[in-house]
């Protein structure tokens, strides 16, 4: 990749911190923007960026994406070529409790990023959308051309709105935008409020794990390194407007996930069966042919391998992780 200047919003998060490290390895200059909010323990976010902190090519800026003039100052000062926009409120169940916060951060926050790009003539954005936009699938795998009539949570609606804003700014202002519909990313630094992290924590402390429905619901889990590959390739290639799925292209049932966790932890899970919440997605699976074609995307880490890597990382993590769901 020729030297690029890249702003990464949400750069201290699970995905953002690992995107920042990859871009630095590729020789980019990176401006990391994050407000280190309390969606989960901010100490974890500071720990996420420890490895990169001393890099000369990294500038860390603490601030809020809602502040458009702050963003514009960052983009101008650091002569940004591409924005990787990952900052968001991220838990779809929590979005039902706090819909306004999610719409403001994810939809209006994306508007703020795009406006700052327009006024500073920053021309390329890679945006982290979500498989939540599909709602429940009727087909075996989600294609990007699917009509988005059934978002099930305010989080999903906020991501649909943000994608549409990217499309409008492409049409009106020529901003090149790739909206990557990320499926369920997992791996080291995973958010403590995400399903796999919560389940492992409960199993290690002999607490029951919550099983929504009969355990047959399925998710496409994609290992963090594969997600980072997809994002890095999108940074390199973004041109025009596209929405692109980033998943593993296979799905795993909740029961299979629990069985794998039992093998990893050596503990028998105590299953607490609960009714499926109406906002919960029953089945997700990515069709990744478009990602392969446009990004050369080819996920390398199988679910069993990735779960093993994540578990080994968890065991080697120095301080206890506070489970501070947000
Ligand atoms: N992790 C997944 O499985 C997954 C799946 C689909 C989509 N995504 C999307 O990928 C992106 C990154 O997700 P993640 O799992 O790394 O989440 P994360 O919560 O770990 O990271 C998000 C980061 O954004 C920052 N942030 C939030 N609001 C901000 C604001 N107003 N101003 C500045 N910074 C702000 C947070 O402090 C945090 O560090 C999000 O947009 C999320 O919706 C993630």
Domain CATH for 18: 3.40.50.720
Q: Is 105 in the pocket of ligand 1 (CB under 6 A)?
A: yes
Confidence of residue 104 (pLDDT cuts 50, 70, 90): very high
- Whether the CB of 185 sits within 6 Å of ligand 1: yes
Q: Model confidence at 302, in pLDDT bands (50, 70, 90)?
A: very high
Nearest residue by C-alpha to atom 2 in ligand 1: 185
* CB-facing half-sphere around the CA of 75: CA atoms within 13 A: 27
Residue 57 in domain: yes
C-alpha–C-alpha distance, residues 136 and 129, integer Å: 16
- Answering whether pTM is above 0.75, one says yes
Per residue in 8-20, pLDDT (tens digit) is: 999 999 999 999 9
Ligand 1 atom 13 nearest Cα: 15
Q: Would you tell me the crossing angle of helices 195-204 and 254-265 to the nearest 10 degrees?
A: 40
In the reported structure, the alpha carbon of residue 106 is separated from the centroid of ligand 1 by a whole-number distance in angstroms of: 9
Q: Is residue 209 part of a domain?
A: no
- Find out whether the beta carbon of 35 lies less than 6 Å from any atom of ligand 1: yes
Taking alpha carbons only, the member of 118, 29, 31 closest to residue 68 is 118
Distance CA(210)–CA(103), nearest Å, equals 27
**Nearest alpha carbon to residue 34 among 119, 114, 109:** 109
In a domain? residue 158:
yes
| Per-residue confidence (pLDDT) for residue 318, from 0 to 100 | 52
Mean pLDDT computed over 307-324: 71
Q: Which domain holds residue 19?
A: 5-185+223-247+285-300
Instruction: Tell me how far the alpha carbon of residue 2 is from its chain's centroid.
Output: 25
In three-state form (DSSP H/G/I as H, E/B as E, the rest C), the secondary structure along the chain is CCCCEEEEECCCCHHHHHHHHHHHHCCCEEEEEECCCCCCCHHHHHHHCHHHCCCCCEEEEECCCCCHHHHHHHHHHCCCCEEEECCCCCCHHHHHHCHHHHHHHHHHHHHHHHHHHHHHCCCEEEEEEEHHHHCCCCCCCECCCCCCCCCCCHHHHHHHHHHHHHHHHHHHHCCEEEEEEECEEECCCCCCCCHHHHHHHHHHCCCCEEEECCCCCEECEEEHHHHHHHHHHHHHHCCCEEEEEECCCCCEEHHHHHHHHHHHHCCCCCEEEECCCCCCCCECCECCHHHHHHHCCCCCCCHHHHHHHHHHHHHHCCCCCCCCCC
Domain tally for the chain? 1
Residue 325 has pLDDT above 50, yes or no: no
Give the angle subtended at the CA of 92 by the CAs of 12 and 216, to the nearest 5°.
115
Q: What was the pLDDT predicted at 283? A: 86
Cα radius of gyration (the chain): 19
Share of the chain above pLDDT 70, in %: 96
Is residue 79 in a domain? yes
Does residue 215 belong to any structural domain of this protein? no
CA of 90 to the centre of ligand 1 (A): 6
């Amino acid at each position: 990749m020729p030297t690029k200047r890249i702003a990464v919003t949400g750069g201290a998060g699970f995905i953002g911190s690992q995107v920042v490290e990859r871009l630095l390895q590729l020789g980019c200059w990176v401006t990391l923007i994050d407000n280190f909010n309390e969606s989960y323990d901010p100490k974890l976010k500071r720990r996420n960026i420890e490895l990169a902190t001393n890099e000369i090519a990294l500038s860390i800026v603490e601030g809020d994406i809602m502040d458009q003039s702050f963003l514009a100052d960052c983009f101008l000062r650091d002569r940004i070529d591409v924005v990787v926009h990952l900052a968001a409120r991220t838990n779809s169940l929590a979005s039902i409790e706090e819909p306004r916060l999610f719409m403001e951060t994810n939809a209006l926050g994306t508007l703020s990023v795009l406006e700052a790009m327009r006024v500073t003539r920053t021309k390329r954005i890679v945006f982290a959308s979500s498989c939540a936009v599909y709602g429940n699938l009727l087909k075996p795998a989600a294609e990007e051309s699917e009509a988005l009539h059934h978002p099930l949570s305010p989080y999903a609606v906020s991501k649909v709105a943000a994608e549409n804003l990217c499309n409008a700014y492409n049409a009106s202002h020529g901003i090149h935008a790739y909206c990557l519909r990320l499926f369920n990313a997992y791996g080291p630094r995973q958010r403590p409020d995400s399903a796999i992290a919560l389940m492992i924590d409960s199993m290690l402390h002999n607490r029951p794990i919550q099983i929504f429905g009969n355990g047959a619901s399925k998710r496409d889990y994609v290992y963090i390194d594969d997600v980072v590959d997809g994002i890095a390739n999108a940074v390199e290639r973004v041109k025009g407007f596209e929405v692109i799925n980033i998943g593993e292209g296979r799905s795993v049932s909740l029961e299979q996930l629990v069985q794998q966790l039992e093998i990893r932890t050596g503990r028998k899970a105590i299953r607490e069966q609960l009714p499926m919440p109406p906002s919960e997605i029953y089945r997700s699976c990515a069709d990744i042919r478009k990602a392969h074609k446009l990004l050369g995307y080819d996920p390398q880490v199988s679910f069993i391998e990735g779960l093993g890597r994540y578990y080994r990382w968890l065991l080697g993590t120095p301080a206890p992780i506070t489970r501070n769901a947000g």
